[in-house]
Amino acid sequence: MNVYDGQRMTELLEAEGMTAVAEGESADLVVLNTCHIRERASEKVYSDIGRIVKRAGADKPLIAVAGCVAQAEGREISARAPAVDIVVGPQAYHRLPALVAEAAGGKRALDTDMPLVSKFDLLPARRRQGPSSFLTVQEGCDKFCTYCVVPYTRGAEVSRPWAAVIDEAKALVDAGACEITLLGQNVNAWTGEDEAGRMQGLDGLIRALDRLPGLARIRYMTSHPNDMTDGLIEAHRDVEKLMPFLHLPVQSGSDRILKAMNRSHDSESYARIIDKVRIARPDIAISGDFIVGFPGETDAEFEDTLKLVERIGYAQAFSFKYSPRPGTPAATMDDQVPPAVMDERLQRLQGALNRQQHAFNDTIFGRTISVLIERDGKKPGQRIGKSPWLQSIVLETDAPVGTLLDVTIVSSGPNSLNGVAAPQLERLYVA
């Protein structure tokens, strides 16, 4: 979502006549779009500010801190880092041009409001897209997991209206997108009325986008198990453009910990959802998020997480050490887990998840699959694309970026798979 917000801020500032410069070039304005989810992400902004100030010397650019650190820390940011001129929260970034003007006049500018009028209505139209685009359809969270800052930094769950989403999707396709990833902190909590006044869920939106000419692939992220409706599961069965990939965070395999996290699902109900999704779409790749070392997590409870991982079989996953966040209930819970224990648990979990990822990738070897070419690779003639299961595929081809190509997967690299464009393979074989 921060990538999406970053693009929208760039478009907004470009509409004001500004030009983006490459990283490392001197800029008049630097916008740091920040994440507050874990302490490490949050602290990074201060080291980044230090680096910018040092590099610029006497010619310091205007510095804006945007995103969730801005929302959470507000004025404290300028107290800790006086070089910061602008602080703007994630629901107020449509005001960036006005804040830049204030700051250019020598004032400190701050806006962390969560206005009732959506910022989306005030942003310029989308243009100039790569083949794969993000589209925020939902923001905020009402779930209040006890470890998480999102409900405080992004605010309550809000769905963008049907027509706004469809219009933005059309604009993205007109601007060159052939894949759209619908985004939201709880994207599957999206609801809205369609043009006929019927209430729809995310599945209705996906079925409408399925009818959009020029759009080849649809994805969505991130989902909550509680909002995984039967309708959405059926969309995985019916909508061919909906890619066979589901990112469904579970956080822990221990029911006691899930309860303490206020997750409102248990390991069994999570596993049942995955079973249903697999019946609907047997080749679906499952991805997840995990937290190790939540306060009070015992060895046996951590083992329950490993057991759940074995039961599900993940194609990929993200796993994190629990990070106490200011203002969240878990931060003041007893029995915080020592860092060394968290390190050991994270290593074991990531070992298991990596093995599963390799096993999943092995199932693709030798197969000819559809790859969306997204960008040039490092070497001349090389292109990088994505498989339906979100794997990065490296191949040599002169097919332009934005092409969907049949590719045979021949080997694996450290973070990607290597493929050969299918007609090329035929030629090799004949020779």
Distance CA 260, CA 330 (A): 8
Q: Where are the alpha helices (DSSP H) in 141-223?
A: 150-153, 162-174, 202-210
Q: Which residue is nearest to ligand 5AD (CB)?
A: 289
Which residues make Cβ contacts (< 8 Å) with residue 300, sequence separation at least 6?
none
Cβ-based nearer residue to ligand 5AD, 328 or 387: 328
- The distance of closest approach from Cβ of residue 275 to ligand SF4 in the complex, given in angstroms and rounded to an integer, is 22
Q: Dihedral sign, CA of 17, 20, 26, 32?
A: positive
Distance CA 117, CA 139 (A): 14
Q: How many residues bind ligand SF4 (CB under 6 A)?
A: 10
Q: How many residues bind ligand 5AD (CB under 6 A)?
A: 12
Half-sphere exposure of 40 (CA within 13 A, CB side): 4
Here's the x/- map for ligand 5AD, 233-262, by CB under 6 A: it reads as ----------------x-x-----------
143 near ligand 5AD, rule: CB under 6 A:
no
Say which amino acid occupies 318. Answer: F
Rounded to a whole number of angstroms, the CA Rg of the chain reads 23
Residues 172-201 binding ligand SF4 (CB under 6 A) are 185-186
Q: Which of 30, 145, 205, 250 is close enough to bind ligand SF4 by CB under 6 A?
A: 145
For 272, other C-beta atoms within 10 Å of its C-beta total 13
Question: Residue 299: exposed, middle, or buried by beta-carbon count in 10 A (0-12, 13-18, 19+)?
Answer: exposed
Residues 5-24 binding ligand 5AD (CB under 6 A) are none
Task: Name which of 250, 261, 196, 257 is nearest 228 in CA terms.
Answer: 250
Q: Which does 37 bind (CB under 5 to 8 A by kind): ligand 5AD, ligand SF4, none?
A: ligand 5AD
Cβ-based nearer residue to ligand SF4, 292 or 364: 292
Distance CA 69, CA 234 (A): 38
Give phi and psi for 299, each to the nearest 5.
-55, -45
148 near ligand SF4, rule: CB under 6 A:
yes
Options 78-86, 136-144, 304-312, 375-383: segment touching ligand SF4 (CB under 6 A): 136-144
The answer to whether 284 and 245 are in contact (CB under 8 A) is yes
Tokens of 277: 């999704």
Q: Which of 93, 220, 320, 389 is close enough to bind ligand 5AD by CB under 6 A?
A: 320
Cβ-based nearer residue to ligand 5AD, 139 or 168: 139
- The distance of closest approach from Cβ of residue 322 to ligand 5AD in the complex, given in angstroms and rounded to an integer, is 5
Q: Which of 36, 94, 95, 143 is close enough to bind ligand SF4 by CB under 6 A?
A: 143
Pairing of strands 404-412, 368-376: antiparallel
Cβ-based nearer residue to ligand SF4, 2 or 403: 2
Options 8-16, 167-175, 322-330, 375-383: segment touching ligand 5AD (CB under 6 A): 322-330
Give phi and psi for 305, each to the nearest 5.
-65, -45
318 near ligand SF4, rule: CB under 6 A:
no
Pairing of strands 382-386, 392-396: antiparallel
- The distance of closest approach from Cβ of residue 249 to ligand 5AD in the complex, given in angstroms and rounded to an integer, is 4
Cβ-based nearer residue to ligand 5AD, 126 or 325: 325
Footprint on this chain of ligand 5AD (rule: CB under 6 A): 37-38, 147-148, 249, 251, 289, 291, 320, 322-323, 325
- Site residues (CB under 6 A) for ligand SF4? 141, 143-145, 148, 150-151, 185-186, 224
